[in-house]
Structure 1
Amino acid sequence: MSGAGQRGISVGAVLALLDLAAKGVPDEHDAVAELLAAERLDPAAVTQVGQRVRELQGAVARLHRRGRELSALFSCARELAALHDVDELVAGLVRRAHDLAGTDVTYLSEFDEATSELRVRSTAGTVASAFQRLRVPPHTGLAGKVVESRAPQWTSHYAHLRDVPHADSIDVAVRAEGLVSILGVPLIAGEHVLGVLFAANRNEHAFSPEEVALLSAFADNVAVVLQTTRLLSQARDAAEETQRAYAELAQHVEAMERAGQVHEELTAAVLRGGGAADVARTLSDALERPVVIVDENNAVLASSDGAAAAVIDSAPVRAALADSRRSGRCTLLEPRQDDFRAAVAVLAGDMVLGGLLIGDGAVELGAVEQRTIERAAQITALLTLKQDAVRYAEDRVRGELLNDVLSPDVRRHSDLAARLRARRVRPQDLRTVVVAVVGPEHRRAALRAAHVLASASGLFGEVEGVVTLVLPEADPREAAALVRDRVRAGTGVDEVLAVAARPADVLGELSARFAAVRDCSRVLAALGVESAAVDADEYAPYTSMFAGEPAGAQQFIDRLIGPVLRWDADRGTELLSTLRQFVDCNASPVRTARSMDVHTNTVLQRIDRVTSLLGDSWRDPEPFFRLSVAVRLEGLRRRFQPDP
């Protein structure tokens, strides 16, 4: 400086002023003013120099702050480049903001788009655990004001903040943490507010514009990092989803190829005349699971492992097959039942032909696999219908032969032996007639069982609504038992009445034998006998009496000894057994008592009771004969009744 009354500043003073400017932080004792005053400058010069030094301090402070911001940004960039864990990165950003702001507490609240809440994601300097789980509802507190205004908001004393809605949960958390002054700046990426970065002190503090600007600048960097991590996370999720889609596509292609291979093999099986065993084996190889095929009565037709039971008697499996019949689709059994995981009905229109049962295995039963199982069921239906058609054609011819053999019209017997030989049936093998009585719903399965039993050396078919066989067996009882057991196995039901006649010596006798077994089966059925294997000759007297009106047998019993039966039923007595012994002992009380091992007076007392029930004339010759028949018929009926 120059001029009158003025003198220049010393070199030492200049250097000291430069040092103060280089610090970038104004000295609270105003060292610049003291230094200039020591140089004895006029007031105007002191003011001019002091203002210039303070401007330099502000510029240097801004450069220092920008340096810190750039350092923080570079650190964030390095951490982002080495990103492995988003939560760790967010926690690191909050710690860096904590160091940069120099406040007691720093925390980041992230905006939840689903609920519009702000939830604390990461903190630095907090001590209260409840604060770290804090959630701020929309339009509430200082945080809500930051989000709505998209601009920094602060307060030097939170408890005195009145221009925003308060929430008890937030106020309690702030008090627990001891926070007084709070500064919040938004984390903005484009049009979206990602969250709010907070710096807070536990004492009253007025945040300076520099502090607000510094935290806002860092918040911009944090927003970029958060948005980048979100994009990276979305990209990673998209990549993983793409990988899953590729994997699912590969599995789908593999399943489709497997389904195509199964379809080709099953089609080939149809063309070459294969059966259920081919379907079970082919499907089992493709699915790597055991496969069992059952008929409409759940009797096993084929099994891929050959280890299945003769009949699948399981309520859950039957229910699954019934559900599949209604829906026409594959039904999964969850949890598995009897080692089966899936079931599908074999249908031809409204006709139920059976079902496919799928066990445990390596290949998952996805949508394609289930459609493959359904297609296998359709192929099974085609094979069954084809085999039924072939069998029906053959059975129709044999059935016509059977009807001719059993017909009483001798005109239908002409050339019968030659016609039998043409069907590879030897006339001398046709000896014993057997009928099998089953429910109408099981007749088709019974005919299939009869086909297996008689196709080699006999005849079978449906005659007068009854499954009928002519077999080479010589013993009627054995023949009846054989037919009963085979039909039971084929139908899966126990109620099978098989009646056989004594062997015929010539073809011409078979008609009479059929009439005998037919009439006997009708009488037994009228008596309620549903399950038995009998020789018709043993019941010939009763058949002769009631063949014309089978229902009359039960009526005959009720009319003759009904009062006795009701007396026993009501009182638990044994009048009927005494009456049976009395009949067998030719009406001798002494012999009856001896056979029953009771005193004669006991027998006489019981006979008196019978007389009171039936009347005085029941022991006359003709009534006694009729009563004897009724007693024996009732005994016959009870012999075949299951034990209670």
Structure 2
Amino acid sequence: MARSFVELLNEEAPPEAFEEQLRLARDEDASEAELERLRAEIEVSLRVRTKMTQQRQREAELRALYETATDLAAIRDVDAVLRAIVRRARDLLGVDLAYLSLIDDERHDVYIRVTDGSVSARFRAIRLPLGAGLGGLVVHTATPYATGDYQSDGRFVHTTDVDAAVSDEGIHALLGVPLLLAGRVIGALLAGNRSPRPFPPEEVALATRLAAHAVVALENARLFSETQAALHELDQVTALLRRHAHEVELAADAHDRLTGVLLHGGGAVDVAKVLAEVLGGDVAVLDPDGAVLAAVGGEPPLVDESLLAAVHEARRTGGTVELDLAIDRCWLAAAVAGTNHLGTLVLSGPDRLTQSAQRIFERAAVVTALLLLFQRSVAEAEHRVRGELLEDVLLHPERDSATLRERARHHRANLDVEHAIVVAAMDYSDRDRAVAVAARLAAEHRGLAGHRDGRLVVILPARAPAEAAQLVSARLREALGCVVTAGADGPAAGPAAIRDAYHEARRCLSALLALGRHGESCDVGGLGFAGMILGSPGPDDVDDFVRAKLGPLLDHDTRRGSDLVGTLEAYFAAGGNLKAARSILQVHTNTVALRLERIATLLGVSWKQPQQALELQLALHLRRLRQADDGTGNLVSVLT
């Protein structure tokens, strides 16, 4: 009895069953028109059957890919997942065996990781040189390859060992697709058949999709392995901490407090306080040169050769170093960022450090390094900006003084208050470090510092010039261990005045160096007439020098209508002889004596000492040169 084509399609009958319906119709003497109709229906039914077969195949592929993805989501054993991928590749492609090969980066060849359907131990143990065989070529070129008969295919590099292993497995047809991880080939997924057969494009595409899942499995396995290792280490730490409950609380407290210091922008002293409280000792933080940055508790240890050697050892090992001092025992940990040694933690007091306490100490060193590195970065940026501001003040103070003042206020500096200007020279090669030391000093006092024409320049508010020069010299000598010579001038308020004072300070420094007074510091006034001679003075400098030496006498003469300046000139002209001076002045000897007593009161009793007397005579002489008689008895300036 004839059956409908729908029934046959529903039963997934083979093509012969559809042809059988046509034969039955012929046997029943169906008309030619009826037979033609049946042929058309059979053709349509067979096309539908083909589509249904392809759809089932597609569903099987998608199901396999879905199952593979599900395996990956619940990954526990990477080899099990890879075996499942290889097995599915074998089933979906309908081949005799499938296997997955990986690159051995150390040996620079390819080995088989997992197989399904292999019967030859020799084949499973094969190792392919990169570029050899089909698998080696796939890995070398990152390109899929397929062959219906491997042994006779001349596209591949055949080797005796590889061909023998392939023959031992009985493989003829082979398909290989690369395993790609982030664009890099890590291996290949291969399918083999023991009889010749082609591999159409859709099978190559399927193998490629399965290979992509295999790569995900391998990468997930690596990450999972690393996570497992981290979890294992964490379990060990947890077990250790459970055996030491007190140390657990201690470490947690220290961690929280050190993290708080880091997050809230604390400093080295805050780290020292946390360590002193948690570990119960005295803590000092030293800079790379051994200077104390912070100290909590007792006196910081004396920096000697043994301590410096321990610092070097802590820096070299990256761990805690124990040091027995004459009166105490201490521990050191270097605060290091990369290759930069930023400081050293020194703990003294405890009789011993447990392993947990040592970890806290070393963690504190890491936190200290981060804090010091951040502070250094901020300070360097701040110093650089302050240096640029100072450069603009010294070069172009009149160009935009309002902008200069506003920029200074952003850095807590006020250019309109009186400043001392210091210019320093030193025998030190690391200019950047010298500038950093000067900049820190300036920032402490709300001043500015920078480098100009081979000299350090520091301006400090509310300081006498000589005092500022001594302060700058002392700080640079202490930090750098070098000879520092400093000249100063001031006070000066406002950008233009600061610029002028800078030039005076440079002149003062030049005079010190010309006199061979290396390592000294003073202001322009402290040089006396030597500054006048060596500093290339102008008219204003001459007037300032005269005023500095004779000012009290000039003011007295102006107020009282006296002639103390003339008396002083006559006294020096007479070689210190009162009678001769009286003759020059045409007054009584007692009058000369009384005037000299008044001069001593105004200038100080040491005015007759050789150096001061010499400077007074120079001032009188310069005053005469600066003035001339206009013929009416009035003195007028001859220098402009």
TM over 0.5: no
Normalised to the residue count of structure 2, the TM-score between the two structures is: 0.41
Quick check: which has more Rg, 1 or 2?
1
